[in-house]
Structure 1
Amino acid sequence: MLQKAFHTKKKAKPKTKKECGFCLILMASHNMTWMSYPSKNLAFNSPEEIEAFIASQNIISRLMHCYIAFFVPTGLIAGICILIIFVKNYVQHKVIENIDLLLLDFTISDIIMIFLSFSVITRPDYLKATHLACNVLSFFFNLSYFNSQYVFLLTLLILLLKRFPPRAALSKATQRPILCVGFVLIYAFCLSLTEAVLVGIDNYHLETDCQLDPLFAWPEYEIIKFTFGFAIPSFLQILCFTVLFEKEAPADAPALQQHIRSYLAAYIISITILICRLFYNLMLLFRTTFKLRKSTGTPKNELVMNIAEIVLFCESCASLVLILCFHKPCKDEILKVIQNCRRKNTANSHLEIPVTAGP
């Protein structure tokens, strides 16, 4: 019996090696380090191709300069003002509204995304980094991306529950926004960690051209990001809007127009997110088809992908400006500052300038 058991164990060893061999084959089949940007390996066959390439590079460069010059300063200034206003209101009242806490988390995520967007400064060229460093940048980008997406979905859900009072259990859950934010952060962290694994570990020490959504990531990277980062939250977002417009509100609830006007910032931002991220995610999914076909695409495809990436970053800046201009606590604080400035200017203009009498 002991001999049989010994022989059985001995025969089990080759099976483990086969399984390891299968894992290596799977990893090799997912090795995307062969992917390269079309602009990096062009063989020009005619003057028209050269002109088209130069034109696409000029478009990317101009868009990048426009984004860095106008959107980044505006977005960062708006974000800093929002943080100051929320902190000031909390210090004064020792309490923060549910919506304000969620928008605070959304603001921090967007500010991080703006800082990470400085990786486009080198366009039409790409940021040079090792595969490992690029993966780390991608992780923090995805963490901010998923967090902002789901925390804003949570904001829409709470606004919906304000109009349609929920049952006791759901009401208790929404009355604890810190727990909700914590749950969203944990969920976003898990998704980001999954995406980091799907970037791959091949040649982690070698230098490469880096995007925040790495070109050399496995095809599953884009599929999961599209599914969990856009398709599911967008479906739930559209469902929230459908319920808001179609379901009949209780008799004591405010009119629909008044409700939308009270939370105008949230509803405008939700539409902005839906449009901008739709364009970006479709281009990301389109890039996956090239990986599956073992193709690098064309300079035109690369141009559209770069435009989609910049549009995504512009959305982060625009969302912060919309919160500052349309969210009631922020708007009221800005109006107070403007009124104080006008009063000071009026007081200065009414000061009498003493005239000294002549000899």
Structure 2
Amino acid sequence: MRTQVAIVGAGPAGLLLSHLLWLDGIDSVVLETRSRDYVERRVRAGVCEHPTVELLREVGLAGRLEEEGLPHHGINLRFDGEDHRIALTDLTGREIVVYGQQEIVKDLIAARLAAGAEIHFEVSDVELHDVTGDSPRVTFKDSTGATQELRADVIAGCDGFHGVSRPSIPDGILRTYDHVYPFAWLGVLVKAPPSHEELIYTNHERGFALHSMRTPELTRLYLQVDPNDVLADWSDARIWDELHARLAVNGDFELHEGPIVERLLSPMRSFVVEPMRHGRLFLAGDSAHIVPPTGAKGMNLAVADVLALSRALKALLTDGRTDPVESYSDTCLRRVWRAEHFSYFMTTMLHRDYSADPFQHRLQLSQLRYTATSVAAATSLAENYVGLPFS
């Protein structure tokens, strides 16, 4: 098999890269270890930044998003028993749209298959070879178990934090920055209408809680929990007790309960590798960086990465120019580190670190009160939350 760009991973990063390259007349093949059904059902992020939505519109992928996405013009910081609204659109002139990552994946798969793209699901034993040469290659077993070899001009590693792309780079090449937080998130998907029209980020003495949504019929709720907890520790009754306690507010608010149709435990970490390129292997999305979900940046960073990568590969493969490829890592990392800082800011402002002294908690409350009452501070939060323009 031969292609111009071998893409490892059929998440939003790999699929969007394939689509962007196709628009530029560049051939690609996508390899994915999971089944199509799995990647289309895998529930992940739901907040699309303004630049992400604009890009999806520009490349013809926003049809269902326009019909089913939920535009949001603000978020709420809930603390001291009160809601403090950050008016995103009033402060920045832009908005976010809640539209599940799995829905974007569905749209991308449909668009790529309609265009005749090659997406190989359920592959195994994926290995990358000769990534510093002019003709890197990927070996794998296809869904029938037959061994295949895919030769390419470049390889895009879009296979996530646990994928094979990053570990294929020899030791000593990458600089790693890793920060693990002393808490985790318990997330539940509930078959019930959202209890509020906007997202609610809560700082409570019992721990952080988040009220979000996926559709007008599905609510997404999160609780800060101990990183050593397991799902068996959390019965439905305990989950609802904590949600009611942490989301309580002075005034009119009723938390809608319903059947819990999905639950997961996620550790909280920040992670970055530099550079995001080794020879003809380019890392994008979670294979290169992880952010805590508090800032809603993970999928949006992946979109920014592959937009920069598609431009760089067009210059290389169509025009023979190498300068955008050489600067790809630096271009992406400037945005990555801004998002890392914002996500760290949101996480440390809203979560309770029970190993810290009371002084730290008073600083948290001071930051929350300042953010809620200062136009300058609220604007900074809003600007980062809706997404800085793509460079």
TM-score by length of 1: 0.28
Query: Which structure has the larger Rg over C-alpha atoms?
Result: 1
Larger RCO (CA under 8 A, 6+ residues apart): 1
Q: TM-score, normalised by structure 2?
A: 0.26
Q: Which has the larger helix fraction?
A: 1
Q: Judging by fraction of residues, say which structure has more strand.
A: 2
